[in-house]
């Protein structure tokens, strides 16, 4: 019997001939990534373990992104302490508050490669499976142990194959594919499992779209989301890495726990309704619902093509008078691309607010909170009660296109109906 991508990567990372789903392995970590709000806890854990120096100054990456720039004294102190720690440790990769969201910055700066084991102290670390890596999120104590030893224990996951075929209709995006998938699999339907995304639609999909898919594997309880690397992957990575890869592909006779077939052609835009990511409905069932705030951004949908589609809808139109539209690029690189392409001009002229890269608007941080009774429509990844401000607010998830069209109409709207 053959092996899945996860089985192959985890066998390699643990120095074994083979690793099978269900087995627990002790694996060497290739990249350990920490965002600002979990770093101090991880460092404290490492020190409590009796270790003062991180195991490798080149493999640890810290990115100050969640509260960027600091909006509270506590956040300012965390950032100060992290900068000091990075200096003391002679850490080679600290990306400061001007850089962007960790899951965008990590691959942009060349830290992610196919076949690598990437562990992050953030649940959306599964994003990096879009490059054919095995990438998963852990808590701070696990990260402390990795900082101390370079290793972690992992249960080799079973794999669910999500096979997507057919051409996506106009205005239907990778986000709609993954929301539909979450609705089918359920919020805990992939707990402990990896999701391998395959099929013609995935082959045709941009790297940015693949990141959107893998990013939301965790919303089904998944341990990892994976897309096998191809020329698109290498085109993205070549200018950012040393160009030496060890790509991993699933065997034809690999064993899957199950397969979900998705017919892309039949999809319409999808909306995840409060307060669960798997409470997914086609837009035709939700259209007309009034919104107060719209947000385009986050590690799920804050890349150039997301901003571009929003701008294309907003160009020559105006944000509805009862709606605030907040647009946040996922990184400084995306910010610059958006400046170059004129996207920012279009968005701001239409009445959008454009903010510096950060996670703030997604997790109820320092920008864009919702008041009790308000409705938010967002291109981010979680619609949990209280996630974006008041527990009495209502959060709906959608693609950037639907979010932008709805910001114009003042209510949830299919872009084709504008």
> Considering beta carbons, is residue 135 or 164 the nearer one to another protein?
135
Tell which residue, 390, 209, 228, has the closest CA to residue 304: 209
> Considering beta carbons, is residue 45 or 117 the nearer one to another protein?
45
Quick one: residue 31, left, alpha or beta (phi over 0 = left, psi -120 to 50 = alpha)?
A: beta
Question: How far apart are the C-alpha atoms of 136 and 378, rounded to whole Å?
Answer: 24
> Least distance from C-beta 249 to another protein, angstroms?
25
Question: How far apart are the C-alpha atoms of 3 and 394, rounded to whole Å?
Answer: 43
> Least distance from C-beta 149 to another protein, angstroms?
4
Tell which residue, 126, 12, 108, has the closest CA to residue 63: 108
> Least distance from C-beta 137 to another protein, angstroms?
4
Element (H, E) at 27: strand 24-28
Question: How far apart are the C-alpha atoms of 362 and 367, rounded to whole Å?
Answer: 9
> Considering beta carbons, is residue 130 or 147 the nearer one to another protein?
147
> Least distance from C-beta 333 to another protein, angstroms?
25
- The separation between CA 263 and the C-alpha centre of its own chain, rounded to angstroms, equals 23
> Least distance from C-beta 272 to another protein, angstroms?
13
* Binding site residues, another protein, CB under 8 A: 24, 26, 37-38, 40-41, 44-45, 48-51, 66-67, 72, 74-75, 78, 121-123, 125, 137-142, 144-145, 148-149, 151, 153, 155, 187-188, 191-192, 218, 221, 223, 276, 363-365, 382, 384-387, 391
> Least distance from C-beta 269 to another protein, angstroms?
24
Question: How far apart are the C-alpha atoms of 267 and 375, rounded to whole Å?
Answer: 25
Distances from the Cα of 319 to the Cαs of 313, 314, 393, in angstroms?
10, 7, 21
> Considering beta carbons, is residue 85 or 317 the nearer one to another protein?
85
Question: 100: which strand partners?
Answer: 331
Q: What angle do CA 308, 108, 195 make, to 5 degrees?
A: 85
Q: Which residues contact 77 (CB under 8 A, 6 or more apart)?
A: none
Question: How far apart are the C-alpha atoms of 395 and 161, rounded to whole Å?
Answer: 29
> Least distance from C-beta 270 to another protein, angstroms?
19
Helix (H, G, I), strand (E, B) or coil at 413: coil
Q: Which residue has the tokens 């109409």?
A: 409
> Considering beta carbons, is residue 245 or 363 the nearer one to another protein?
363
> Considering beta carbons, is residue 66 or 128 the nearer one to another protein?
66
Tell which residue, 330, 329, 227, 221, has the closest CA to residue 277: 221
> Least distance from C-beta 395 to another protein, angstroms?
11
> Considering beta carbons, is residue 218 or 398 the nearer one to another protein?
218
> Considering beta carbons, is residue 115 or 365 the nearer one to another protein?
365
């Amino acid at each position: 019997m053959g092996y899945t991508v996860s089985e192959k990567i985890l066998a390699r990372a643990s120095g074994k001939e083979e690793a099978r789903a269900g087995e627990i392995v002790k694996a060497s970590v290739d990249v350990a990534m920490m965002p600002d709000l979990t770093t101090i806890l991880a460092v404290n854990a490492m020190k409590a373990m009796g270790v003062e120096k991180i195991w490798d100054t080149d493999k640890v990456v810290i990115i100050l992104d969640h509260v960027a720039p600091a909006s509270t004294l506590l956040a300012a102190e965390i950032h100060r302490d992290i900068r000091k720690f990075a200096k003391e440790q002679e850490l080679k990769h600290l990306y400061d508050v001007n850089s962007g969201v960790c899951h965008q910055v990590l691959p942009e700066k060349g830290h992610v490669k196919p076949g690598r084991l990437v562990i992050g102290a953030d649940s959306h670390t599964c994003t990096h499976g879009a490059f054919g890596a095995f990438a998963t999120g852990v808590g701070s104590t696990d990260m402390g142990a990795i900082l101390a030893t370079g290793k972690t224990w992992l249960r080799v996951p079973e794999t669910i194959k999500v096979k997507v075929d057919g051409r996506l209709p106009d205005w239907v995006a990778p986000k709609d594919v993954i929301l539909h998938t979450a609705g089918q699999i359920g919020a805990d339907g992939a707990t402990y499992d990896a999701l391998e995304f395959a099929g013609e639609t995935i082959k045709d999909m941009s790297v940015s779209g693949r990141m959107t898919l893998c990013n939301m594997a965790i919303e089904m309880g998944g341990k990892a989301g994976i897309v096998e690397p191809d020329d698109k992957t290498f085109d993205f990575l070549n200018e950012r890495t040393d160009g030496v890869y060890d790509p991993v592909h699933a065997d034809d006779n690999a064993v899957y726990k199950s397969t979900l077939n998705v017919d892309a052609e039949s999809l319409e835009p999808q909306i995840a309704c409060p307060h669960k990511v798997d409470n997914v409905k086609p837009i035709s069932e939700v259209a007309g619902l009034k919104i107060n705030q719209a947000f385009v951004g986050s590690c799920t949908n804050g890349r150039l093509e997301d901003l571009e589609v929003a701008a294309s809808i907003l160009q020559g139109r105006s944000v509805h008078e009862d709606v605030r539209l907040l647009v946040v690029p996922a990184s400084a690189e995306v910010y610059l691309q958006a400046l170059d392409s004129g996207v920012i001009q279009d968005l701001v002229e239409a009445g959008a607010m454009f903010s510096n890269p950060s996670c703030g608007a997604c997790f109820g941080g320092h920008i864009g909170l919702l008041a009790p009774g308000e409705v938010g429509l967002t291109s981010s990844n979680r619609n949990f009660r209280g996630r974006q401000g008041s527990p009495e607010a209502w959060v709906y998830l959608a693609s950037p296109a639907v979010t932008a069209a709805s910001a114009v109409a003042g209510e949830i709207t299919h872009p084709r109906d504008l």
